[in-house]
Amino acid sequence: MTVAAKRVAINTGGGDAPGLNAVIHGAVYAARGLGWQIFGIRDGYDGFLEPQNYPDGGLRELRRSTVREISHLGGTILGTTNRGNPFCRPTKQPDGSVREVDRSDELIECFRKNSLDALIAVGGDGSLSIAHKLQDKGLRVVGVPKTIDNDLESTVLTFGFNTAVSFATECIDRLHSTALSHRRVIVVEVMGRNAGWIALHSGLAARADAILIPEIPYEIENVAACLCRKHHDGKPYSIVVVAEGAKPLGGDVSVRSREVSRAEQLGGIGETVAAQLQELTGKESRCVVLGHLLRGGSPTAIDRILGVTFGAAAVQALSMGMDGVMVALNPPRIDFVPIQVAIAKLKLVPQDSDFVLVSRALDISFGDGA
C-alpha cells in the first residue's frame, strides 16, 4: 500500500544512549526515500511545549544533508530530557510554587497545527509509555526502543547496550593491572537501573570475581568468602562488578537522590560494598563508579547498525499503515510489537539465565551462596 506524502516527527526522550543519532539518520534516509518530510522535535517534547526556549525553532526539518554525518556520533542532535512528561509536567505557578500539569492536549494540538501525521518516539520504557498514551489520544506513533539498560521486553537488544558493555569491559580490563599491582579489591559500579544486564555482561567479559545484580540479592559475607578463598588459592586481587540497582538480601537499593516527576537516581552501592569488603577481607578496597561514561562516546558498530535499521524500520511501519507499535529485534528479523506489550513489564536477568550459569561455572560469585 502506498501512502500519500507524509510529514513525520521524530523525538528522543529519556537518558541519551549511543546510537540515537544512527536512528535519526536511518529514519530520515528512509522517509526521504518515500518522498516524505521528517521533522525533529527538540529535547523530547520541549520544542513544542516551551517554544520560547528555542529562538531557532523547537521543530526543525531534517534533511539528508543534516544527518549524513551523524550516525557514528554519541548523544542526540535533537537533545533529550527525562523531565519532559507532557502528562505531568512540573510547571511554575503564578505564586511561585511548582505543580504537575497535564499538557498533553496542548501537545497534540502542536502536532495538528504543524500538519504532522505521525511521531517516531525513540525512548526507553518511560518515553514509550508516554508515546503509548499519546497514541491513545489519537496521534499515530511508532516507538523505537532505546536504553543502555537493555531492559525492554519484546526486543532482544536495545541500541546503546552494546556500547555500554564494551566500554565497561574495557574499563574493567584496565582495572585488573592496577588491582593486581596493589593486591587490592576494586569494586566497579555500573548503571542499569533495576536490571543487571550491563553488570552481568561486562563482568563476564572482563573476568570479574563477583557480579552483584538486582535480580540476585547478595549477602556480603558470601562475596567476601569467595574473594578470600581466591586470595588463599593464589589470586592476590579481586574485581567485583556491582549493578547500581543491586541490593543485599532483605535490604533496599541505594538511592542517590529523589526528585518529583522523575525516576529516583540510583547510586552509592559500590562505595558501600567496597567498605564492607575491606572490613571483611582485610584487603584494601577501592570503588570506581563508571556512571555516565557508559552513555557517552561513539556507538559500537552493532549499535550503529541497530540504530539505522530501527530508524528505517519505524518509517517502514508507518508506510505499511501500522502505528501503536514498537520496532523490535527478533533475530533474524526486525518485528513490530504493540507498544502496550513492549512496556508491560521490564526484561530482567532470569536467575537461571545461561549467562548466570556460565558465570557460576567460571567461579564468579553472585553473593547468594550458590
**Which of 6, 12, 15, 200: binder of ligand F6P (CB under 6 A)?**
15
Q: Contacts with ligand F6P in 229-248 (CB under 6 A)?
A: 244
Query: Quick check: helix, strand or coil at residue 352?
Result: coil
Site mask for ligand F6P (CB under 6 A), range 315-354, x = bound: ----------------------------------------
Size of the site for ligand F6P (CB under 6 A): 13
Which residues does 53 contact at the CB level (< 8 Å), separation at least 6? Answer: 46
- When asked if residue 73 is in the footprint of ligand F6P (CB under 6 A), the reply is no
Does the footprint of ligand F6P cover residue 140 (CB under 6 A)? Answer: no
Query: Which range, of 38-46, 59-67, 104-112, 191-199, touches ligand F6P by CB under 6 A?
Result: 191-199
Of 117, 125, 149, 303, catalytic: 149
Q: 140: which residues sit within 8 A by CB, 6+ positions away?
A: 117, 118, 119, 318, 323, 324
Residue 257 found at the interface with ligand F6P (CB under 6 A): no
Q: Are 11 and 45 in contact (CB under 8 A)?
A: yes
Single out the residue of 150, 109, 132, 90 nearest to residue 306, CA to CA.
150
**How many residues are there in the chain?**
370
Pick the binder of ligand F6P from 30, 49, 116, 148 (CB under 6 A).
Answer: 148
Please list the alpha-helical segments (H only) found in the chain. 20-33, 46-49, 64-67, 104-113, 125-136, 161-182, 197-205, 220-232, 269-281, 301-319, 339-342, 354-361
Neighbours of 255 (CB within 10 A): 13
Taking CB under 6 A as the rule, does residue 309 contact ligand F6P?
no
Q: Which of 192, 28, 23 is nearest to 121 (CA)?
A: 23
- Which residues on adjacent β-strands are paired with residue 10? 40, 120
Q: Which is nearer to ligand F6P, 26 or 214 (CB)?
A: 214
Q: Whole-number minimum distance, CB 334 to ligand F6P, in Å?
A: 23
Any catalytic annotation for residue 149? yes
Q: Is 261 in the site for ligand F6P (CB under 6 A)?
A: no
The answer to whether the bond into 248 is cis (omega within 30° of 0) is: no
193 forms part of the interface with ligand F6P (CB under 6 A): yes
Q: Which among 32-40, 84-92, 95-103, 186-194 is the span making contact with ligand F6P, rule CB under 6 A?
A: 186-194
Between 193 and 231, CB nearer to ligand F6P: 193
Neighbours of 359 (CB within 10 A): 19
Name which of 179 and 211 has its Cβ closer to ligand F6P: 211
- CA distance linking residue 273 with residue 212, whole number of Å: 10
What's the min distance (Å) between Cβ of 302 and ligand F6P? 18
Q: Is 87 helix (H, G, I), strand (E, B) or coil?
A: coil
Cβ-closest residue to ligand F6P?
191
Q: Is 124 in the site for ligand F6P (CB under 6 A)?
A: yes
Q: Which residues bind ligand F6P (CB under 6 A)?
A: 15, 82, 124, 147-149, 191-193, 244, 265-266, 295
The residues that are catalytic are 149
